[in-house]
Amino acid sequence: MNNKAIGRRIQLYRHKLGMTQAQLAEKLDVSAKYVSSIERGISNTSLNKLEQISETLGVSVTALISDCDNTSTNYADSEISTLIKDWSIEQKELLIDFIHSLDNFFKK
């Protein structure tokens, strides 16, 4: 599992709730520094703590860890989908154009 990807997911769902790291830490009975280190992918977290985090954020553990294996071909697919879910058509078109530009750059 990629700790950075899991941390980004936790941060994403926390932000969607308008919750600070300190507020999440208080609900989990841990320090804000610990939450920060999880979100930055520096600290591992136990399955029990992941369950607490998922319950607090109102998402499943699967939502936090799915496609977080950076050896898998579907790495980050659901994270990208979640991030752009509420984007306008115009924003998605810009993203597609950007991805095509990146793809052309990487093929050189």
Asked if residue 25 has pLDDT above 90, the reply is yes
**What is the tens place of the pLDDT at every residue in 46-55?**
899 999 999 9
Q: What is the pTM for the complete model shown? A: 0.73
Domains of the chain: 3-107 (1.10.260.40)
C-alpha span between 100 and 79 (Å, rounded): 19
Contact 6, 46 (CB under 8 A): no
Mean pLDDT of 62-79: 78
- Going by pLDDT thresholds of 50, 70 and 90, the confidence category of residue 69 is low
| Residues in Cβ contact with 34 at an 8 Å cutoff, skipping those fewer than 6 apart | 25, 43
pLDDT at 74: 76
What average pLDDT does range 91-99 have in this prediction?
A: 95
